[in-house]
Structure formats: C-alpha cells, structure tokens
C-alpha cells in the first residue's frame, strides 16, 4: 500500500480515536501526532516530545494498533518517533524556565487546542502547570477495595483539605507495583483539588518531567526562577519517583521537598517501591520521605478485579454500541487475570476489539484464546541485590562481608562473580550501581564478572545448573 493511502487511513484512525476517546482526550494526546510512513506491517507516527511519546506508548499503544489493524489487516505494530520540528523553532521567551520541546499538553480545562501556538503551552507551563493529567483518571472512576482503601482515603483527604493546612500525611508516599493505580490516584487528587478550589496551586509532575525542567532551567540560567516557581506550589504531586536520577537533580528535589513541607504545603509522592528500597535515591530524600506517611496499594483481590472490569465494561458499552461480552466471560477474566488494573483493562480492550473485528459474540472459548498470554500472568518478584548476596553467601558458605571485600582467594572470587552476574541478570541495576554495591568496585570489574560467568556456564553444565538453582532460590 502506498504512503498516500496510509496517510488517508491515518485520518480515519484519527476520526475513530476522536469518537472513541472524546474530544478532550483526543486533543490532549493526539492533536500533535503526525503520520510519517508505513511498510504495510509497521506504521511510524511522530510526536513532538519524548514525554508525549512515552505517554502515548504506555496508555494508548494497544488502542492505536487495534484501530490501524481494523483499517488495514496487515498492520501489526505502531512505532512512535520524536520529531525535531518543535526544537527547530525559535526559543520562546518566558520568565520562568521551561524546556519548550518538553512542554506538555496539559489538563483539558487548560488545554491548548491543536491549532494553539506553542507559546500558549509554554506560558501555561511557566505559570506552574506540570505534566499532563488524564481527564479519565478521577476519584469517580477509581474503584476502591481492600488493596487500596487506605491509600485512597488518604488521597481523598489531601484533595479535600484546603491550601495552607496540610494533612497529617505530609509527605504522603504511595507505593505499588506496576498498574495498580498510583498514577490514576495522583491524577484524581490533582483534578479534585483543582475543582474544589481553583485558586489552589496544584502541580502534578512526573519525576522524569521534573528532571527535564530542572536541566533546562540550568541551561537557560534560570534555575533560581525555576526553584522559586516550584516553592510557591500549594499541592505538589510527584509520580514515578524511582526515575529521579542524577545527584544535582536529587539535591534540588530535596531542597524543594524541604521548602514545601516546612512551608506547610502538601506533597504527595508515588513510586514503584518503598522509599527505603529506592537504592539510587539520595539518602536525604529517602529520609525526608520516611518522615511522612507511606501507604502501599496491594494486588487487587477478586472483588476489586470484578469492580474494575465492570466499570470499564460500562464505559466500553457507552463507546461501542451493541458490544457484548457475557457476564461469564467477565467473571472468567476477573478470576484469571490477577496481576493488576492495567492488565484487566488490556484484557477487556482486547475482548471489545475482538468483538469489533469479528462481528461475532465473545464466547468463553474465544476469550481463552484472545487472553492466553495474560491469564495467570503474575507480577515478577522484585529482586534486591542484598537478597542475591545473602543467598549466594549462604550457598557457598562464605560471608556477605567476604563478597564485598577485596579478598581474591578462589573460594571467594567465584561466588562474588556469580553474585554480580545474578545482580545484572535479575535486577534492572546498572553496572556502576552493582559495582558500588559490591564494595565500591569499578563497572569494568562487574562486566568482567558477568562475561566470565557466562563463558564458564557454556562449558560447565554443572555450574550452569547451580546458577539456575540459585536463580530459583532467589525468586522464591
């Protein structure tokens, strides 16, 4: 199919996105998406910012693929690339710092339309607006259950408490594994707080976006204005704190946290694990966070899974006239997709798409095939380097101190190398980070250990089995 034909199809996909998601959501996320090209299997779309790219990827990629496939059967993938067009524009002059190419689309009430000039976005950003907030993520659409009841109640209290009177949970720290509703809850707080008091200065920022803004402010030599701007906030919501990287960024974040909390402003932070486990985070930030109150959102139980599915199904019925997923199939999904809210939503989207594309009623048999890979999927356990060191030390009858020491006896060197290898393969930690956790070694030492163990395992079946056994022990 020619490029022109695909561009025409993009217009059709856009029309369907607009109808299915509504004008607000469409103009928030898709107004600046452009069609680039397609080879008939992959469609390449471009967006102006990395931020928009990651947002669309994590929230709408599945939808995009299914719409494209319904227009052109051979399409299997949609790739998003960041184009340089916005960067090429003349810099926008604003009083407070803003990285223009990262200036996001923002909450619908403040949203510039597709045709609004980039300056409008930048100005709103400079006024203190943060990362975009999804209008669908409200308290009304959040399902409450045993797993999230306390976090939900605390989030509501924060949204309802007037400016200048922070709650006893300050900072409020919410942590949970993937897809359990942290972002949903933070967006709900932002929207409810703005609604309750439009004069309250509410800013929602992802940690990644905070970094972009801080680095841009340093480049623009407007760091002071940037810092002052942040300290005027009444309610600051920081999402995905685990992505906050870099010493100076973390220091600045710590100053901001101190200034806000000491100035009786409310702070809410979300991350994928407890503050104490954010190993790359500056100890001062961790300690300040531990001074507040932390709540975990647990895995959804059956009742909560049913609620989430039912509420999503009602929404799907509004958008897709006549869609029919029988109660028995919904119950099957609730019983068997046990991981998190995102997978539940994904499962339902697939069933709705299946109904759309086949024009056949969804049956248990067809649902089982469609959801094969999601059924029974459990969240992978998060492995810590300390656990690896402990288990390897016990297994080889050495002490943890030996593993971290500079001793080079053979009985210690090999277990140490295996522990480093396991740290690289079972955790997302970088080589330098692993080196630091093994008595301050250089990243090249870790790399050498990883290669060595890989090489040894290839020629030594016994060692390969031993490492496999250790993996299972660590994973239990």
Binding segment for ligand ATP (CB under 6 A), chosen from 88-96, 123-131, 178-186, 259-267, is: 178-186
Judged by CB under 6 A, does residue 49 bind ligand ATP? no
Q: How far apart are CA 1 and CA 378, in angstroms?
A: 40
Judged by CB under 6 A, does residue 18 bind ligand ATP? no
In the chain the first and final C-alpha atoms are separated, in Å, by: 50
Size of residue set near ligand ATP by CB under 6 A: 17
User: Residue 140: helix, strand or coil by DSSP?
Assistant: coil
Judged by CB under 6 A, does residue 175 bind ligand ATP? no
Judged by CB under 6 A, does residue 435 bind ligand ATP? no
Judged by CB under 6 A, does residue 180 bind ligand ATP? yes
Applying CB under 6 A, among 94, 98, 111, 143 the residue interacting with ligand ATP is 143
Assess contact for 155 and 251: CB atoms under 8 A: no
Helices 461-475/385-396 angle, 10° precision: 130
Binding segment for ligand ATP (CB under 6 A), chosen from 30-38, 174-182, 246-254, 316-324, is: 174-182
Helices 341-358/327-336 angle, 10° precision: 140
Judged by CB under 6 A, does residue 179 bind ligand ATP? yes
Residue-by-residue DSSP string for 36-81? EEE-SSEEEEEES-HHHHHHHHHHHHHHHHHHHHHH-TT--EEEEE
CB nearer ligand ATP, residue 179 or residue 435: 179
Q: How far apart are CA 385 and CA 368, in angstroms?
A: 38
User: Residue 90: helix, strand or coil by DSSP?
Assistant: coil
Binding segment for ligand ATP (CB under 6 A), chosen from 179-187, 273-281, 358-366, 380-388, is: 179-187
Identify which of 40, 80, 84 has the alpha carbon closest to the alpha carbon of residue 63.
80
Residue 179 assigned to a binding site: yes
Applying CB under 6 A, among 12, 83, 310, 342 the residue interacting with ligand ATP is 342
CB nearer ligand ATP, residue 272 or residue 279: 272
Residue 164 assigned to a binding site: no
Alpha-carbon distances, residue 58 vs 140, 176, 183 (angstroms) = 22, 17, 12
Applying CB under 6 A, among 25, 190, 308, 325 the residue interacting with ligand ATP is 308
Judged by CB under 6 A, does residue 345 bind ligand ATP? yes
Q: How far apart are CA 452 and CA 224, in angstroms?
A: 49
Compute the least distance from the CB of residue 225 to ligand ATP, in Å.
30
Q: How far apart are CA 25 and CA 183, in angstroms?
A: 16
CB nearer ligand ATP, residue 38 or residue 148: 148
CB nearer ligand ATP, residue 80 or residue 347: 347
Residue 113 assigned to a binding site: no
Tokens of 385: 């380097």
Residues making up the binding site for ATP: 179, 181-183
Residues making up the binding site: 179, 181-183
> Which residues contribute to the site for ligand ATP (CB under 6 A)?
137, 142-143, 148, 176, 178-184, 272, 308, 341-342, 345
């Amino acid at each position: 199919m020619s490029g022109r034909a695909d561009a025409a199809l993009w217009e059709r996909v856009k029309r369907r996105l607009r109808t299915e998601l509504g004008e607000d959501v469409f103009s928030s996320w898709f107004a600046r998406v452009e069609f680039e090209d397609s080879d008939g299997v992959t469609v390449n779309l471009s967006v102006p910012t990395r931020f928009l790219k990651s947002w669309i990827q994590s929230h709408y990629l599945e939808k995009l693929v299914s719409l494209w496939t319904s227009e052109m059967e051979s399409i299997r993938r949609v790739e998003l690339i960041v184009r340089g067009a916005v960067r090429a524009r003349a810099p926008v002059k604003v009083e407070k710092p803003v990285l223009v190419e990262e200036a996001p689309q923002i909450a619908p009430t403040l949203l510039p339309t597709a045709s609004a000039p980039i300056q409008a976005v930048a100005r709103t950003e400079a006024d203190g607006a943060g990362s975009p907030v999804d209008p669908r993520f409200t308290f009304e659409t959040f399902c409450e259950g045993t797993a999230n009841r306390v976090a939900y109640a605390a989030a509501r209290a924060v949204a309802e408490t007037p400016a200048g009177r922070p709650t006893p949970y300050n900072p409020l720290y919410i942590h949970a594994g993937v897809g359990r509703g942290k972002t949903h809850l933070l967006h709900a707080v932002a929207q409810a707080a703005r609604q309750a008091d439009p004069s309250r200065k509410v800013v929602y920022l992802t940690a990644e976006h905070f970094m972009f803004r801080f680095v841009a402010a340093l480049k623009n030599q407007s760091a002071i204005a940037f810092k002052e701007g942040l300290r005027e906030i009444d309610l600051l919501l920081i999402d995905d704190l685990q992505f906050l990287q870099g010493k100076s960024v973390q220091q600045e974040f710590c100053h901001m946290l101190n200034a806000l909390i000491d100035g009786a402003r409310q702070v809410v932070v979300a991350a994928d694990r407890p503050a104490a486990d954010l190993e790359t985070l500056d100890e001062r930030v961790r300690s300040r966070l531990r001074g507040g109150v932390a709540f975990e959102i647990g895995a959804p139980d059956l009742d909560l899974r049913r609620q989430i599915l039912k509420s999503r199904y009602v929404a799907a019925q509004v958008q897709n006239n006549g869609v029919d997923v029988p109660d028995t199939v919904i119950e099957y999904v609730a019983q068997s997709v046990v991981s998190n809210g995102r997978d539940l939503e994904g499962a339902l989207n697939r069933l709705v798409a299946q109904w759309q594309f086949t024009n056949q009623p969804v049956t248990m048999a067809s649902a089982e095939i469609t959801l094969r890979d999601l059924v029974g999927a459990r969240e992978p356990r998060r492995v810590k380097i300390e656990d690896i060191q402990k288990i390897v030390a016990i297994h080889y009858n050495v002490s943890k101190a030996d593993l971290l020491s500079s001793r080079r006896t053979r009985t210690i060197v090999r277990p140490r190398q295996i522990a480093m290898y396991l740290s690289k393969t079972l955790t997302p930690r970088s080589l330098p980070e692993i080196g630091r956790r093994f008595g301050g070694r250089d990243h090249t030492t870790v790399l050498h250990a990883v290669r060595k163990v890989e090489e040894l395992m290839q020629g030594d079946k016994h060692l390969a089995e031993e490492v496999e056994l250790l993996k299972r022990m660590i994973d239990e």
